[in-house]
Chain A
């Protein structure tokens, strides 16, 4: 029964050519995007929980920046009011008093510097919170799907397909979470300041150009963070041997 000749043939180099083992395995980008986006939308509940890590982190960052811009705007408005007042007084008294004007300009400058360092500290903190939250969310979303990954590999998926699917998903999740988080943080701060000042004029007083830059930056940071933090678990999952991935129980 043991076919010695066949065995010898098989070990030879000729064996490989005969069966024509080929290498063309594809996953078109269109399909990859379709699958990933469906993955995000179909388990919307689960996705929202994963995304909440991003939303909260980015909301924090967005709120810090929004409050900064609003405070700047208010300060600027107050400063201008003061200067007008001073200008009015000097005009009234018709007696220039330069020293006083300089004083009033110097105080907000110092204050601003202290505020700035505090704000940088807050931004760094919120970025840390963001990073940890997003990494955790991504790690979980990959880990809970080891079995699915194993199945896909059995069906002929290359490691790169798995990574591609998860990275597209991470970007989708990142954009979704960041946009939500940015809006949440921004609107919350706007609301708080409007209540504190008892008027909606805060919106008018702030520098919208700067605000918009910050908001876009928030979305960018959230997306990049979620992409970066998904790379490691996705690559790890993709490299698993299918047998191991299939056995994982969560």
Chain B
């Protein structure tokens, strides 16, 4: 993800934060990595800032959220009365087997689909009351989406994919280029500006997607199985990237997943089964080292 230089032999190494010794001379790289990490944290803070005026404790709330899909004559309930509160700045994972309704919940929170009944609030705004323009604005400015299948626009380069939401937001061309470059640098693809999605690997495409999700400094990043199409290692990189963003900038990350690697980085894990919340695990319960969430 980041390029660092070995202090002993000068070897250029691509690192994701997992390997801590130089593959060439075996020198300890932890100090260099920490410095690089710190620098990136600082940069991320300036790149992703939550500019919302208000500070409600909960950024997303759902009340009695219900979704029923009608397939022919059969009604399939996908969500049954889901009540969920997501704190600002939280890293929340929604876990569950396929068909449990986690993607449906993702769609409701993201304003991509309408619930059959119940309400969904984003920053205390009832999404059902928004008109098409406001909903588009919300999707453009407040929410960043990451998908399992990356969903980059195939005919556009990495740079163009990232700047598309900025065009919608009305940014000037110069601003767009600067920010696009900054974002691509941040996800470690600074040298792939003009590559088309098919010229990039799965992990690289997903990183472009992460950068695109951050284009307009959203308050929430919604990820639907972001690691579903990636191998173990690449998946870990994406998870780490999301976690870093979450910590450095305070952006709320909500991720639907069944990837167990997500548990390590999540503040809370919501287990969902048959359209209902089965239980909610707190980070404190999973990992005793971390001193809970503070506000509980």
Contact = CB atoms under 8 A, between A and B. Distances in A.
Nearest to B54: A18
Contact of B58 (A3, A23, A241): A3
B82 to A, nearest CB: 14
A144 B152 CA distance: 15
Interface string B98-140: 0000000001001011100000010111100110111011111
Given A3-B57, A19-B52, A25 B169 contact: yes
Interface in B122-171: 123-126, 129-130, 132-134, 136-141, 145, 147, 151-156, 164-165, 167-170
Q: Bin chain B's interface residue count.
A: 35 or more
Q: Bin chain A's interface residue count.
A: 35 or more
Interface string A2-20: 1100110111000110111
Contacts of A244: 113
Nearest to B147: A246
A241 B129 contact: no
Chain A contact residues: helix, strand, loop or mixed:
helix
A210 interface: no
Contacts of A76: none
A155 B165 contact: yes
A39 interface: yes
Contacts of B85: 1-3
B63 interface: yes
A155 B113 contact: no
A118 interface: no
B61 interface: yes
A128 interface: no
Interface stretch (A26-34, A60-68, A96-104): A26-34
B153 A151 contact: yes
Contacts of A159: 132
A161 B139 CA distance: 14
Contact of A246 (B56, B112, B126, B141): B112
B140 A25 contact: yes
A243 interface: yes
B295 to A, nearest CB: 10
Interface string A69-91: 00000000000000000000000
Given A21-B134, A151-B153, A246-B151, A10 B168 contact: no
Given A7-B63, A10-B125, A21-B125, A156 B169 contact: yes
A155 B114 contact: no
A153 interface: yes
B167 A241 contact: no
A39 B145 CA distance: 23
A147 interface: yes
B146 to A, nearest CB: 10
A242 B113 contact: yes
Q: Which of A22, A25, A43, A148 has the most CB of B within 10 A?
A: A25
Contact of A10 (B61, B140, B155): B61
A19 B134 contact: no
Contacts of A6: 56-58, 61, 124
Interface string A211-250: 0000000000000000000000000000001111010000
Contacts of A10: 61, 121, 124-126
B181 interface: no
A157 interface: yes
Nearest to B296: A1
A13 to B, nearest CB: 10
Contacts of B134: 21-23
Q: Which of B110, B124, B126 has the most CB of A within 10 A?
A: B124
B53 interface: yes
Interface string B75-110: 000000001010000000000000000000001001
A16 B130 CA distance: 9
B212 interface: yes
A38 interface: yes
A156 B139 contact: yes
Interface string B181-213: 000000000000000000000000000000010
Interface in A168-206: none
B170 A24 contact: yes
A107 interface: no
Please give me the 7 A-B residue pairs with the lowest Cβ-Cβ distance, nearest first. A156-B140, A243-B113, A243-B112, A10-B124, A243-B107, A23-B133, A155-B165
20 contacts: A2-B83, A3-B57, A15-B124, A15-B126, A18-B54, A19-B124, A21-B134, A38-B156, A39-B155, A42-B155, A147-B151, A148-B154, A151-B153, A155-B140, A155-B212, A156-B137, A156-B216, A158-B132, A161-B168, A242-B107
Interface of B: 52-54, 56-58, 61, 63, 83, 85, 107, 110, 112-114, 121, 123-126, 129-130, 132-134, 136-141, 145, 147, 151-156, 164-165, 167-170, 212, 215-216
Interface of A: 1-3, 6-7, 9-11, 15-16, 18-28, 31, 38-39, 42-43, 147-148, 150-159, 161, 241-244, 246
